[in-house]
Every structure is written in C-alpha cells, then in structure tokens.
Amino acid sequence: MSITVVVGASSGIGRAAAIRAAEGGSGVILTYSSNEAGALETVAHIQGLGVEAVALRLDLGDSVSIRGFRAAVEQALTQTWGAQSFTGLVNNAGFGGGTMFADTTEEQLDRFYRVLFKGPYLLTQELLPLLADGGAIVNTASNSAATLGLSEGFSAYGSMKGAVVVLTRYLAKELSRRGIRANSVSPGPTRTPFAGGAFETMPELTADLESRTALGRLGEPDDIGPVIAFLLSDAGRWITGQDIEVTGGFNL
C-alpha cells in the first residue's frame, strides 16, 4: 500500500504533488499551517479520484509542534488505512520573499532557518520511524541555490535551500541501508501563492523572467508536481541523492 505524506499541500506545488501522487494510487496525508480551507479543497479533490486523504495541521516553524506530529500521523495511518507506516515523504512547506543581504534582519534570517531548513530536518527525524523501508523522500529546494544566474535579494532564502540540497545528499547516503531514496527538486520562477500576486501586479517582472526562461513562460505548480510524484514512484527507483532542476531552462 502506497501512502504519501505531503508537507504544505494546501496550495501550489504541494497540492500539485499530492494530487499527482493520488492519481498514481497513493493515499495522502497532507499538512497545512493556516490555510485549512485550501487543505480541505486538496482533500476533496483527491477523494474525488477515489483515493483516501487526510489533512493535518502542522507549524513547521515550531519544533514543539513537530515533535508531537508523529502521533497524529500514526493515528491517521491506523484509522484511515489500517497501516503502521507510509511510503513517501515530501518536504515542501515554506514561504517566499527576498531582502537584500545588507538589509536582512536577524529575525528574518532566523525565520528562514526555522521553516526552510530546521523544520524539514526535524520533521524527517520525527517521521523516519514511520517511513517504510524502500520508501522515498523528496525535498523542495530552489534554483535560488544555483551556482549561476542568481537574482539579488535572496541570500537568506537561497542559503537555506542550498542547505536542503546538501541535507538531501546526506539522507540518501545514510538511509540507503534501509533502501530509502532521497532527492530534491529545484523549481525556478513558479506561479504559486508564495509570489503574493506579484506576477499579476508586476507585468514587467513576469516579462523579464519569461525572457530568461528557455521555454518562454513562468512555471506552474503542475509542472513541478509530476516530477515529485515520479521521484516517489517505482519508476524513480534508481535515482537517489540528486537535485533535479525543474525550471523550463531558466538562465539556460
């Protein structure tokens, strides 16, 4: 039985990944922080496919919330599927935004750290005993951690996403003894709620990003979701320790 935990699936890339995993037959436990309505919409969509789904609240920036989350997942597994383990974990939750290096405050830096790196690190530790041998982990990183073509203002965000890429390689190394694969995906500019409507209100920004993308448009969540679902599936069984850029050729 395939069951996937998707962290941050009330909208955007997480929702797309959850739906694509469900289309492949996987049950889904999805999390949300504040957007309960969006999470329930994702659940309803998945259930409309004839697949079971459960939404659980999780504050990825709160280590106390993370440490108590295993019990909630265990309960969902038992009550919904009669299972004791899940097969896939997608660490996707986060937030966007940029500030020039000289203007980034300690508070901003700490928040990026807590949500984008410390949160996925601790959550993966917390849920690891429930992840079945032979399972898979996919972490959402970002092309803001790339070595070329950087945009100013993302030193904190990009640094944490770069740490996620490194963490992924260590997970692939250390968890290989259990047959668990770990990969990351690095989207480019993508039309998600993280952008806060900037693509719609700033057409000049959209035009610039599209001109820097080989395939000539912004990414959409469903450009990324299928790649995550593929890496979780048996079709990706021989891929581990990799960061897959999913950008449409941004800065190619």
Q: DSSP letter string over 210-229?
A: HHTBTTSS-B-HHHHHHHHH
Q: Which residues are catalytic?
A: 157
Grouping H, G, I as helix, E, B as strand and the rest as coil, residue 80 is helix
Residue 6 contacts residue 29 (beta carbons within 8 Å): yes
What's the CA gap between 48 and 52, in Å, rounded?
9
Stretch (H or E) spanning 170: helix 155-174
Beta-bridged to residue 131, according to DSSP, are 86
Beta-bridged to residue 140, according to DSSP, are 185
Tokens 């909208």: give the residue. Answer: 11
